[in-house]
Structure 1
Amino acid sequence: MSRSGEFCPRCGDEIPERAGERPSAADQRDPDSVLCDACYFEEFDLVDAPDRIEVRVCSRCGAVHKGNRWVDVGAEDYTDVAVDQVSEALGVHIDAQSVAWQVAPEQVDKNTIRMHAEFSGVIRETPVTEEVVVPVKISRQTCERCGKIAGGSFASVVQVRGDGRNPTDEELERAETIAEEYIAAREDTGDRNAFITETSTVDEGLNMKISTTQMGHGIAKRITAQLGGSYTDSKRLISEDEDGQRLYRVTYAVRLPRYRQGEVIDPEDGDGPVLVRSVQGNLKGVRLATGAAYEASFEDGEAPDATRLGFREDGEETTLVAVEDAHAVQVLDPETFESVTVPRPEYLDTDADTVTVLKSRSGLHVLPERDDDE
């Protein structure tokens, strides 16, 4: 190695000239760049590591605080989180080349992880290695979202009721599931403002306290889309924020359809009972006397005034005795076992041995076979 003619300002030894090496702009700004290798490496640190790292974890939902916000990571073991935090906090010397590193976590206790990180690189054509140990403390706290839930915070209420009736248990369970699925979908997008604070069943139906007005509106919209009916909204002033902005709480009143799919009603228009097949929009069904399609008129709104006669589930299987003509058949009355003449709807299979009938105040009527949607 040839002589450079330069001397180390610290120890006075002459600095050998390294082949092909010329001072860079960074070297000129770095006062240690003029030191010989011995003096340079005497105080050289390949890695700049913090003495300790704290990872803030929500003890309720498991979210991790990163930067200035809480992030859902879905982890029960926070080792991977600790590795990521340490990786972000470590700094490698700017002049190091061919840097490689590996980390080995050591679980000390439930809230402490000791991270053993080993680095290797090349500085001044010299291979160097360094090992650092960084303790990671898991600090269990309560995130803003869980704090709001625990404090009963909500901005909207979704009330599920029936039009002229109480909703069934099945309808209430379905409405609650629709709400939970919608909130879960919003959470999957990273929306931490999406949550249900409280769900309660009352005699008239279901009440749900929802985090935001947007979430409440989305739930009401989806319940009516899947179960039928309609909803209205009303808002009430509850307070003002520190900037004087008015804060409102919005109630979304969901009204499930007056009649249910599978219910038999008599619109009392002279054409006989109707089996309800759809409650989406205007009520739709089929006439039990003829098999003709039925749809509530625009003047009737979503559902007409009608007499409730029963449900498809109330139907009983009985014997088809005879076909009288194009409009009538004979069946056995399931209660008296007498042969009775009843209307012959288009959907009746005259080759069948048995049929399902419903007996009500409007008489005895043959029910159609179930559709796939029922």
Structure 2
Amino acid sequence: MSDARGSEFCPRCGDPVPERDEPLPGEPRDRDRVLCDACYFEDFELVDAPERVEVLVCASCGAIRRGNRWIDVGARDYTDVAVEEVSESLGVHVKAEDVRWGVEPEQVDPTTIRMHCTFSGVVRGIPVEEAFTVPVRISRGTCERCGRIAGGSYAATVQVRGVDRVPDPAEQREAVEIAESMVASREADGDREAFITEITDQPEGKDVKLSTNKLGKAVATRITEQLGGSYSEAPTLVTEDRDGNEVYRVTFAVRLPKFRPGDVIDPDDGDGPVLVRSVRGNLKGVRLRTGERYEAEFEEGETPDAEKVGEAAEAAETTVVTVEDENAVQVLDPETYEAVTVPNPDFYGGDETVRSLKTDAGLFVLPEDETEE
């Protein structure tokens, strides 16, 4: 209402209401703008706060339940979780300006935290303050992911094996590290479906059980990319889902190459033994007799028809007696200490001592870095 001179009065108490700027065209008209400040602030609440907050935390991984989802927060200090949950549950009045706030937690017991909250702002040009306490109840449960892990749920098995050999401990360890790093990377990206259910030792190598077939395929691919070899897939029907779709478990059988970097093999082609340097794709190495580069034929891949005759790890340091010519050098036999003439390969740089390996085909000098491609 207004008087004859156009002044407005509060419809609740009848007191005059100061003139206020009209809303811009198209903006909604605030129905409370006709109230005086005293009546307006009688019902005004600066902050809309819940009476209490319930937080469900997974006791295994620390994830928290929000709605129908579990969110990874790595909760170990529940006070931080309580502060975040209360902060997200508060609503500040849209008319408040220059809002400032603070939260002070009070640990009542291991599962109860009182959050003492203070807010201040400016409404209608008048400073307002509000203080309240929100109790937070922490309860523990088990998220779906941890429940599946505890129940032994898995969809894929990556079997780490070797061709005509058992993968050595270093290879098995690296294969497991590859699986663990890939799972950790997916977890960091928020993928809660990625996990390792179990890692077991078998007489032939390692078995890694993984949560999804997609993850199993990715791990098998990465292992063969880094360690060489190949893998095959063998699906097994285990059940049907609620929609009638068939559900398979897939075994990814990784076969690491027969030879590995550091092995010395004899291709039996008359050109002498080869130090293996790489088994990614075709086997690659260096001839110990000449220092020339060796690469297996395409169809042979990383497993050419050859016999292993030694390992670089078995090499012993020996003294060079003399360089006879560009094709021969004399060294001391590391077992008999007699001067022996051996081939002078291109990679020999004239050092006084060299690493040498004794094989059935004779004694050979090895390069300093046997795994360099």
Q: Which TM-score applies when normalising by structure 2?
A: 0.89
Does the 8 Å contact 1:5/1:14 carry over to 2? Answer: no
Map of 1:352 onto structure 2? 351
Q: What percent of counterpart residues are identical?
A: 59
Map of 1:366 onto structure 2? 365
Map of 2:258 onto structure 1? 258
> Offset at 1:42?
4.2
Matches within 5 A, 1:1-374: 6=9, 8-9=11-12, 13-20=13-20, 27-28=30-31, 38=38, 40-123=40-123, 126-349=126-349, 351-370=350-369, 373=372
In the alignment, the residues of structure 2 paired with residue 286 and residue 369 of structure 1 have an alpha-carbon distance, to the nearest angstrom, of 12
> Offset at 1:97?
4.5
What residue identity is the alignment partner of 2:364? H
> Offset at 1:163?
0.9
What residue identity is the alignment partner of 1:195? F
Q: What's the C-alpha RMSD, in Å, of the aligned pairs?
A: 2.5
Distance change >3 Å, CA 123–CA 315, structure 1 → 2: closer
Using the TM superposition, name which of 77-86 and 48-57 deviates more: 77-86
What residue identity is the alignment partner of 2:135? P
What residue identity is the alignment partner of 2:269? D
Distance change >3 Å, CA 22–CA 348, structure 1 → 2: closer
Deviations 1:276-333 (A, max 9, x none): 1111111111111121111111232322122211111111222323334433333322
Does the 8 Å contact 2:262/2:371 carry over to 1? Answer: no
Using the TM superposition, name which of 335-344 and 262-271 deviates more: 335-344
In the alignment, the residues of structure 2 paired with residue 316 and residue 25 of structure 1 have an alpha-carbon distance, to the nearest angstrom, of 89
Distance change >3 Å, CA 7–CA 255, structure 1 → 2: closer
Does the 8 Å contact 2:296/2:302 carry over to 1? Answer: yes
Does the 8 Å contact 1:58/1:141 carry over to 2? Answer: yes
Aligned residues: 366
In the alignment, the residues of structure 2 paired with residue 5 and residue 329 of structure 1 have an alpha-carbon distance, to the nearest angstrom, of 112
Q: Which runs of 5+ in 2 are unaligned?
A: none
In the alignment, the residues of structure 2 paired with residue 301 and residue 7 of structure 1 have an alpha-carbon distance, to the nearest angstrom, of 91
Q: Which runs of 5+ in 1 are unaligned?
A: none
In the alignment, the residues of structure 1 paired with residue 125 and residue 347 of structure 2 have an alpha-carbon distance, to the nearest angstrom, of 91
Distance change >3 Å, CA 289–CA 18, structure 1 → 2: same
